[in-house]
Amino acid sequence: MKEFLGKYVYITIQKPEKVMQHKCAKVTTITNTHISLFDTFDNNPYCYRKCDVIEIKLSNKSPGGIEYGN
């Protein structure tokens, strides 16, 4: 996951109560156990356990929410 540090990602998280998705979040910190990100759509920081990550890939959306080339 270190390759995503400082990049905008699409990430899906499995929480016990629900599945969470971020379509354009900047990865700010990665530790051995957690990943922290800043969601550009709601302007809030988040921190999740890496074991809860279902999917992570580079986002095809700009921080303003506009899609750009695939």
Contact between residue 7 and residue 58 where contact means Cβ atoms under 8 Å apart? yes
pTM of the entire predicted model:
0.84
Instruction: Please choose, from the candidates 41, 10, 13, the residue with its C-alpha nearest in 3D space to the C-alpha of residue 27.
Output: 10
State what percent of residues in the chain have pLDDT above 90: 79
Domain extents in the chain: 2-58
Is it the case that residue 58 has pLDDT exceeding 70? Answer: yes
Mean pLDDT in residue range 19-38: 96
CA distances from 48 to 8, 18, 51, 56 (A): 16, 13, 8, 12
Predicted confidence at residue 57, as pLDDT, reads: 96
> 2-58 architecture in CATH?
Roll (2.30)
Sorting pLDDT into bands at 50, 70 and 90, what band is 22? very high
Q: Is 3 exposed, middle or buried (0-12, 13-18, 19+ CB in 10 A)?
A: exposed
CA separation for the pair 63, 50 (Å, rounded):
23
